[in-house]
Structure 1
Amino acid sequence: MIQNTKCECGHQNHVGTVLCESCGKPLLEDDTANEPLEMRYDGVARRSQRENPGLLDRVWNFFSSVKNAVYMIIVTLIASALGTIYPQESTFLNFDPSTYYKDTYGTTGQIYYLLGLSHTFESWWFITLLFMIGTSLVVCSLDRVLPLYRALSKQQIRKHLTFLTRQKVTYSGPMPVAADTTEAWTTKAAEALKKQHYRVHTEQDGTALLAEKYRFSRWGPYINHIGLIIFLSAVLMRSIPGWHMDQHVAFPEGKIVKIPETSYYLKNEKFTIDFYSEDEMSADFRAKGQDVPKTYETKAVLYECTANCDDPSKEPVLQEVHRQDIIVNKPLEYKGFMAYQFDFKSDPMLIAVKPSLKNKQTGEVYGQLDISMDKPAESYKAGPYELRLKAYFPEFSLDSKGLPITLSNQPKVPAFVFLVTGPGLQTQGETFIYFPRQVDKVNFRQDDLNGALAAKLDLSVNSMDDVSISEYVSYLNLRVDRAMPFIWVGAAISMIGLVMGFYWQHRRIWLRIDDRQLTLGAHTNKNWFGVRKEVVGMLQKTGIEVDPKTLERRGTET
């Protein structure tokens, strides 16, 4: 067990210190006395090395462990790989995942769905893994960077002899005979090191020296951690409402559709499509007789709700804010909101009709109604008659008991039930069933259903100009990603940290002179050949010829 100990130099070290924070003397007696010193974090104490840790310390120790961090990263990578075996649910449009994976991929697909892997990247456990990795990055960095900063910012020039002789690059020998004084030789050595871009510190009497360069590279890994923390935080921020959206929404021609999770509405004013001619198509496509789209676009208008946005009982007040034609790879963009052209479908659908109410016997036209298939009004006025809406069936059908029902909310077979009041009718009004499409009138025998009222009044359109039909449905991929700038910032900071750590090395050279006996030690985190070459160059310029191979300490060699 590591005990709190006081070094022979008089410095009181923290519990867990391996090398004295002042003179560098090893504080542990072990079997590696002839091995080079372990200089990781300069031997300083860390919180994760506390004796008798409490609950909070145990949690800290778990997240400060690099081994645990590696395990969490491996588990996350495996989970990410599993999530790409089959397509994720978010890549599909209008499908039932509970049956799709089984029908398409068989038993393995069903197991894939039941395990929740079909929505891996939105699952709580995957987000938890990312959060744990981010926490580990924060704790690992704090556990190491603060003690390391304290050690590097308070370095002593004179180091213990054992500290110097147990460095991987070391030299011991007498000063050159030609050297006049210790101080003069040290000054000459300092000048040689400065030419190699070292920052040199010496004691006043010239008996000790510390040369250092590229200290900033020691902070590279921690800057990399900061970038990764920002990156992961930005990814997690996507779960904040309004920060991220990636949905596929259908926009029939002529309809205004609310964009989920926003105050925006988008209208598909017109969808246009251009097909390749037979001359432009290859022989294979001509043989198949397929129509191949050449270009297709959505003429879109973006609105922003300014009033009654959250009141479903009132019509929202919309203000046009942007207008743009959307084609493949050229999305609509407005203040971080983007709408990509994803797909289209030929699906003729009735949007609105403007039928005229007529007197069947005299041919008199009382007025025209403007009936929306999306939100019909509660009542309509046509001359002396009032038509109050009693029921609306977007896709009219009859159940097993012969009662009217709707099969969906899409106006595929629209039917309206009005209560008509006016001259010549009963006081309480009479029921009138109206089918806007002529084919539905015939199929469901509109005149037979309306009985005697059908002989008096007729509700029909005069021309096709009074009918609004959506020929195509445009499918748009709607995206909002407010976290993306933070993701790029995190990635950039991470790259800066990687460059700092890879292309520069923190190099330090210590030396001391005792009775004209020179002892030198040098350390770097990598590229030992480079620092050894610099030491040899410095010694040669001060009159000491040395074989570079003899400078490197190798295990039990003395």
Structure 2
Amino acid sequence: MAVSDSLEKNIYLNPKHFFRRIIQIVADLRLAIILLLVIAVFSITGTVIEQGETLPFYQQNYPEDPALFGFLSWKVILFIGLNHVYSTWWYLSLLILFGTSLVACTFTRQFPALKSARNWKFYNKERQFEKLALSAELTTGSLPIFKQILFQKGYKIFEENNSLYARKGIIGKIGPIIVHAAMIITLLGSIIGVMTGFFAQEMVASGDTFQVRNIIESGPFSNSWIPKDWGIKVNRFWIDYTPNGNVDQFYSDLSVVDTEGKELDHKIIHVNEPLRYKGVTFYQTNWGISSVKVQINNSPIFRLPMAQLNTNGNGQIWGTWIPTKPDLSEGISLLARDLQGTMMVYDKTGKLYSAVRPGMDLDINGVTLKVKELLGSTGLQIKADPGIPIVYTGFGLLMLGVVMSYVSHSQIWALQEGDRFYIGGKTNRAQVIFEREMLEMIDSMEKTT
């Protein structure tokens, strides 16, 4: 027992031995599986729980009494960081630890396995073939004939005196290394995206120019990706409706402009067809009514903002109040549900007075109200994620590596001693196919000789 304790102390006191022990722990397959499961669980949590919402949202949907599952309340969500799972320090730490485990496993297991597969040795004695899972002793056969058969089957052949070694499918040993590298690249891309990317939302009226300001989430190194010397001008926003009045598609005509208003790029976007410029993507996600242009009698045309009203979930309504007297003592209310043009006018007592469309005149409160135009606003989701190309590269390599891993690594040995011909082989997968191939080669050699 004393000797064992002494050895254990020496392992941990010797830095070299201690480092090797740490590498062994990190490279353990069981640790990698546990980390992968934990990451998967929290990734699913980030999908189920809404990310990046406001405090009132979580207080309303995840109350303390009754708490979801008896413990999951808004306080727990905010304390742990489940409202922004993918950017929390502990989630990033799990990714880094998992990546470290993959790197350690690659260098301690996969590279040595590849090196071992690339090395070969010849079998010079009969008893060596008896250790193989598949072997045969023939009374006929010759190395030159067998060599030709192996060549036709795609084997790489090595020959020494009366011994022969052949292999194929070495790519199957490279596949797992590619898979590990792909996973590491994917993790790296995810971390870069979280650390350098940002997410923002803007509601912009037609004709307005804006720069990205309303940032919802951003990484600590995202400042270089947030546009500073250019902005977006919303030239026009419009909606296509179906014959029954439902929204079919909404569009935004966008121009990328510099600080002097010069157009740098232009695109009409809609859902699933965003604008991309200098690594920043603008998605069409929402819409609203921003304002209405009206005229009272022969007054100048003025623009009044319209606000979205609370309908308790019964659809969307925007409204504004239009004064009909210079001292603002009287006015009317104007309501609209969409941009199709029909607006409802309510008098000063709150009663429905009439419906009006853009271009129509309406006499009310002793004045003539002229509604000139109803202006929409576009809801844009803005995102920059520099890690996406890296993640896509990782996924591409992952698929390639998985396909490569399914290639069987087959090895065959042969030895000719007098009138005796020994043959044997093994493979790491597709055992039945390999056995059939061996039998075919033996049969071909016997027929030839």
TM-score by length of 2: 0.67
Amino acid of the structure 1 residue aligned with 2:25: F
The alpha-carbon deviation at position 517 of structure 1 amounts to 5.7
Q: Verify: 1:256 aligned to 2:209, yes or no.
A: yes
Tell me the alpha carbon deviations over residues 102-155 of structure 1, each in whole angstroms, 9 at most, x when there is no partner. 369952262562443222222222222222222222221111233234333332
- SS across alignment from 1:156: coil
- SS across alignment from 2:232: strand
| Map of 2:180 onto structure 1 | 225
Tell me the alpha carbon deviations over residues 191-215 of structure 1, each in whole angstroms, 9 at most, x when there is no partner. 33223222222212x1x21111122
- Greater Rg, structure 1 or structure 2? 1
| Map of 1:422 onto structure 2 | none
The 2-side partners of 1:534 and 1:129 are apart by 46
Aligned partner of 2:199 among 236, 246, 250: 246
| Map of 2:100 onto structure 1 | 135
| Map of 2:441 onto structure 1 | 538
| Map of 2:396 onto structure 1 | 492
Do the aligned residues in 2 keep the contact of 1:165 with 1:519 (CA within 8 Å)?
no
1:361-380 aligned at under 5 Å gives the runs none
| Map of 1:366 onto structure 2 | none
The alpha-carbon deviation at position 228 of structure 1 amounts to 2.0
The 2-side partners of 1:61 and 1:216 are apart by 26
| Map of 1:297 onto structure 2 | 251
Tell me the alpha carbon deviations over residues 305-344 of structure 1, each in whole angstroms, 9 at most, x when there is no partner. 4xxxxxxxxxxx5543223333333323334332222112
The alpha-carbon deviation at position 217 of structure 1 amounts to 1.8
| Map of 2:347 onto structure 1 | none
Aligned partner of 1:473 among 364, 377, 386: 377
| Map of 2:343 onto structure 1 | none
The alpha-carbon deviation at position 55 of structure 1 amounts to 3.1
The alpha-carbon deviation at position 72 of structure 1 amounts to 0.8
Aligned partner of 1:522 among 406, 422, 425: 425
Do the aligned residues in 2 keep the contact of 1:88 with 1:118 (CA within 8 Å)?
yes
| Map of 2:222 onto structure 1 | none
Aligned partner of 2:269 among 317, 323, 326: 326
Change (3 A) 1:52 1:340: closer
Do the aligned residues in 1 keep the contact of 2:122 with 2:165 (CA within 8 Å)?
yes
| Map of 1:268 onto structure 2 | 234
Amino acid of the structure 2 residue aligned with 1:113: I
- SS across alignment from 2:50: coil
Amino acid of the structure 2 residue aligned with 1:138: V
The 2-side partners of 1:481 and 1:106 are apart by 38
Q: Verify: 1:121 aligned to 2:86, yes or no.
A: yes
| Map of 2:189 onto structure 1 | 234
| Map of 1:196 onto structure 2 | 153
The 2-side partners of 1:441 and 1:113 are apart by 51
- Could you say what the CA RMSD is over the residues aligned between the two structures, in angstroms? 4.1
| Map of 2:386 onto structure 1 | 482
Aligned partner of 1:84 among 47, 66, 71: 47
The 2-side partners of 1:262 and 1:144 are apart by 45
Do the aligned residues in 2 keep the contact of 1:275 with 1:295 (CA within 8 Å)?
yes
- Where do 5+ consecutive residues of structure 1 fail to align? 1-50, 180-184, 282-290, 306-316, 351-355, 357-371, 374-411, 414-435, 444-463, 545-558
Change (3 A) 1:470 1:323: farther
Aligned partner of 1:510 among 413, 423, 426: 413
The 1-side partners of 2:413 and 2:195 are apart by 53
The 2-side partners of 1:251 and 1:162 are apart by 82
| Map of 2:308 onto structure 1 | none
- Where do 5+ consecutive residues of structure 2 fail to align? 1-13, 214-225, 294-298, 305-319, 330-368
Do the aligned residues in 1 keep the contact of 2:233 with 2:256 (CA within 8 Å)?
yes
User: Identity, % of aligned pairs?
Assistant: 20
- SS across alignment from 1:121: helix
Tell me the alpha carbon deviations over residues 32-84 of structure 1, each in whole angstroms, 9 at most, x when there is no partner. xxxxxxxxxxxxxxxxxxx9963322331122111111111111111122223
Q: Verify: 1:61 aligned to 2:4, yes or no.
A: no
Q: Verify: 1:187 aligned to 2:144, yes or no.
A: yes
| Map of 2:67 onto structure 1 | 107
Amino acid of the structure 2 residue aligned with 1:232: L
| Map of 2:56 onto structure 1 | 96
Do the aligned residues in 1 keep the contact of 2:290 with 2:377 (CA within 8 Å)?
yes
Do the aligned residues in 1 keep the contact of 2:237 with 2:376 (CA within 8 Å)?
yes
The 2-side partners of 1:213 and 1:78 are apart by 40
Change (3 A) 1:332 1:439: farther
| Map of 1:74 onto structure 2 | 37
Do the aligned residues in 2 keep the contact of 1:198 with 1:213 (CA within 8 Å)?
yes
Amino acid of the structure 1 residue aligned with 2:103: V
Do the aligned residues in 2 keep the contact of 1:343 with 1:476 (CA within 8 Å)?
yes
The 1-side partners of 2:292 and 2:383 are apart by 27
The 1-side partners of 2:268 and 2:152 are apart by 64
Q: Verify: 1:168 aligned to 2:122, yes or no.
A: no
TM-score by length of 1: 0.55
- SS across alignment from 1:325: strand
Change (3 A) 1:61 1:346: same
The 1-side partners of 2:15 and 2:146 are apart by 48
| Map of 1:209 onto structure 2 | 164
Aligned pair count reads 360
Do the aligned residues in 1 keep the contact of 2:118 with 2:170 (CA within 8 Å)?
no
Change (3 A) 1:146 1:270: closer
1:394-433 aligned at under 5 Å gives the runs none
Aligned partner of 1:148 among 113, 119, 125: 113
Amino acid of the structure 2 residue aligned with 1:337: V
The 2-side partners of 1:104 and 1:470 are apart by 44
The 1-side partners of 2:66 and 2:240 are apart by 38
Amino acid of the structure 2 residue aligned with 1:147: P
The 1-side partners of 2:436 and 2:116 are apart by 26
